[in-house]
Structure formats: C-alpha cells, structure tokens
Amino acid sequence: MSKQTITIPDDFILGAAASAWQTEGWSGKKAGQDSYLDAWYKNDRHVWHNGYGPAVATDFINRYKEDVALMKAAGLTHYRTSINWARFLTDYENVVVDEDYAAYYDRLIDELQAQGIEPMLCLEHYELPAALLEKYDGWGSKKVVELYVRYAEKVFERYASKVTRWFTFNEPIVVQTRVYLDALRWPYEQNTDKWMQWNHHKNLATAKVVKLFRDKGYSGTVGTILNPEVTYPRSSAPHDVKAAEIYDLFFNRVFLDPAIKGEYPAELLALLAKHQVRWEYDDEELSLIAGNRVDEVGINLYYPHRVKAPSRAWNPETPFHPAFYYEHFDLPGRRMNKSRGWEIQPRIIYDMAMRLKNEYDNIPWFVAENGMGIEDEAQFKNAEGQIQDDYRITFIGEHLHQALKARADGANCQGYMLWAFTDNVSPMNAFKNRYGLIEIDLENQRQRRMKKSAHWYRQLRDTHQLTINIDDEEK
C-alpha cells in the first residue's frame, strides 16, 4: 500500500443525489396524487422494511432549508433530485399544475442557488402517477408517453430559465424489470412483452423530451440517468463470454444504445423476435429516437455484475426471461458490503468510463450515483454521537479515484455524485441501509447530523485533493 494525492479538476462535480419520493414525504399531497411508489406502499406495506416508506421519508419538503444548509456545509457543488410528476400536476390529462407544489420547487431551486449549489433535475425517478398506471397500464401505453411529454413541457416552462441540466429518467429499466420480468414488486406480473414495451416507451419519451427542449430553444442540456451493470464473464470461455454479452444487451444496451447511438442493437432485436417478445413500435418512433440523442448521461454504478453460462434448463411454460442465457456468478474471495450483499469493485467506474469513451463516442457523462448502504449505522457513533463512517470514506475515495484516473486517461467524465445526500427511503429497503453523508435519526424527530464522511467530503471540495491508499498493483 502507498499513499497518493490526486488533484481534482476545478470543474469536476462533487455532488450528491436523491429523489423527490425518497425524501419529500406526503405533506401537502392532494387526493389523487399518488405515484406508483405511493400506491405500492399503500397496497403492500408489509414488504417495506419496518413499515417506513414514502409517507414521511425525510420530510424534506418541510425541512429543505435546513438540508440545503447542510449541503453547503458538506461542500456539495451540485445536488440532483427529481420532480414528482404525480404531485406536480393535479390533472394529468389536462396538465394542470399544482401551484403549491410548483412554488415549493421555485423556493428549493432559489435556495440551492443562493447557497452556491447547482440543481440538476430529473423528470421521473419512478414517480409515474398511480392513476396513469391504473387507467392506461402506465408506460405500456403510448398515451402515457404523450402525457409525460406534456408534463415535461410544463416543467420546462416553469423552471428552464433557472435550471440548465435536465434528465428524463433515473434508472428507467428498474420498475418494469422488478415488476414485469422478475415479478418481485407490486403488482407482481411476469410479462416480458410489457417489460419491453415499457423499455421502448421510455426510450421514445426521452427522445421526445430531448426534441421538445431543443425545439423550444432552451439553453442547457437534456440527458438521462442509467444504471448499466458493468458485467464480467466468469471466464474467457466462449460460453461465459456469450452469457455476459447477452446480459449486457438485455439490461444495459437496451437503454444505452437508443439514448447515445439513437438505435437498438440489432442483436437485441433478433433475440426478442426469436423469443416472440411482442412490443409495438414503428419506423416513425425509431427515427425520432435516431434523431434526438441525449446530450449527456448520468451513470449509476454500485457493484460489478458477474455471470456465467447457465447450467440449468428454463421452464418453457413461463414467459421468456433473459436468464435463459446466463446465471449469476459470485467471485470467490470478493470484497463485500455485507449489509447490502453487493461486491465492492471500484474498477467498475474505470471500465464503464473506457466503454463510454471507446464505444459511445466519448459522450459527456458523470457518476450519477455510487454509494455504500450500511445497516445499523448507529453502532459506529463516537462519544459525541457522530457516526464514524470510515468505511464510506474509503469506498468513496476508491471509486472517485477510478473516475479521476479515467478522466486523466481521456474519458469525458464530468464528476461524481454520491448516493445519497442524507439517509433516505429506498424501495422496500426503506431506511434499512443508510447511504447518507448526513444521518437521519428516526428515533429523534428525524434530526440531521453530519457523519464523519460529510466533513471529509467538505475537505475534498475545499482542497481539491483526494488522498488515498493505493495497492501497488493499482498504480
């Protein structure tokens, strides 16, 4: 091991992320404004860890001023959150803006900017209005694509003069994969056709919103935030390599390619046809996707994905699942975050960066989420009650190092954003795994306290120097 100090470029984002539904809480929410998450929580509360969910979350909607002050104290240059579509409107069909909620966003944006923190806003972090899921089957319907674009139009009309960095979705693959592919989340329905239809409509929605933003002549950029899983084959044997390539097609390239290259991979289309996955698309939609590629991508990276060729048969009576072509593989001797059950491998950042550089035109991108969720963090409090999260400092340092190394090697990496700014509510896991620089004390009226890592993050911003221990082989 040796110590190394790396300079962080002046224009490098050192931020943190969150979303509306995971922080704001339902205070002020009107009847009929449930999002998909709210409906899931109401219908299926028992699967949410200790019963916590979006109802109160961190009560950010009432405490944003206190939190923005903490963002400043922790040295954030940027803060990324979402606007909750389900709450931004009171009538989704006629796009009637909820003036109370919209005014809160005006105040939040103004407060962030007054404190020198740049807001980055995402139009959907799973917050599909529940009413549109019920009436139109959500993203399965072209009508919902149209209503989403009209919602985006209202948001831009209101805030595009103040906010210049926009994102269409956060992790657009997640909801339909958990619901329609794996049937692990409410409303539990294994339906591969719907899965692909949702994917396609979200790709189409991104292209339409990019077009809208450009046609209206707003200044700024529109990107999307994806969660490609850096996938390594168990071995270099052709069957393992093929398993990894197919995994990559179904879970990564299905969004990366349309967003950045403007087209679906031919190999993916061939596999969908081979397995009779039915989804509706036409040439006009494909040319919209081709003509309206994103300006940048945010990439959420937490852990490596490892696969091997499958050794078991697929039951032909269940709908096609891409796992026909792969099985998960656990690397013996891997480093683990035991709370989350995820392998720790900072190299995923560098490998993704090189892929974007070499295969995706070196598009501008940044790490939009990366972080470490830890259970029972109160056990790490010192006598003064501050969580001594040295494990998080090491984790961030190692991953940030890979981002800086990639940038030095020519990757167009614009920055690093931690998930998350404060501890917050995750789907199902709720407050089980704590991710924040700031502790939310659920036992004491959600009191906020800076963890050791928040002070360390501040010092990164102040000095623009990252000092870490590096393995000799890493250098």
- CB of 97: closest distance to ligand BG6 in angstroms? 25
- CB of 382: closest distance to ligand BG6 in angstroms? 25
Which residue has 């007054």 as its token pair? Answer: 114
Chain residues that interact with ligand BG6, rule: CB under 6 A: 19, 22, 170-171, 227, 300, 340, 369, 373, 419, 426, 429, 433
What does the DSSP 8-state code read for residue 167?
E
- The DSSP line for 307-343 is EE---S---TTSPP-GGGG-EE-PPTT--EETTTTEE
Assess contact for 301 and 284: CB atoms under 8 A: no
Residues ≥6 apart with Cβ < 8 Å to 421: 16, 17, 18, 67, 70, 71, 74, 76, 79, 436, 437, 438
- CA distances 57 to 67, 76, 337, 377, 431, Å, are 14, 22, 24, 18, 9
Residue type, 324: F
Catalytic residue from among 285, 369, 377, 439? 369
Assess contact for 118 and 165: CB atoms under 8 A: yes
Considering beta carbons, is residue 90 or 429 the nearer one to ligand BG6?
429
Q: Which residue number is nearest to ligand BG6 in terms of Cβ? A: 426
Spatial separation of the C-alpha atoms in residues 64 and 87, rounded to whole Å: 17
- CB of 22: closest distance to ligand BG6 in angstroms? 6
Considering beta carbons, is residue 156 or 365 the nearer one to ligand BG6?
365
Give strand pairing partners of 13: 415
- CB of 260: closest distance to ligand BG6 in angstroms? 20
- CB of 289: closest distance to ligand BG6 in angstroms? 23
Considering beta carbons, is residue 255 or 419 the nearer one to ligand BG6?
419
Catalytic residue from among 171, 296, 377, 398? 171
Considering beta carbons, is residue 67 or 369 the nearer one to ligand BG6?
369
Spatial separation of the C-alpha atoms in residues 91 and 40, rounded to whole Å: 21
Considering beta carbons, is residue 292 or 433 the nearer one to ligand BG6?
433
359 annotated active-site: no
Q: What is the dihedral of CA 87, 193, 183, 18, to 10 degrees?
A: -30
171 annotated active-site: yes
Which residues belong to the active site?
171, 369
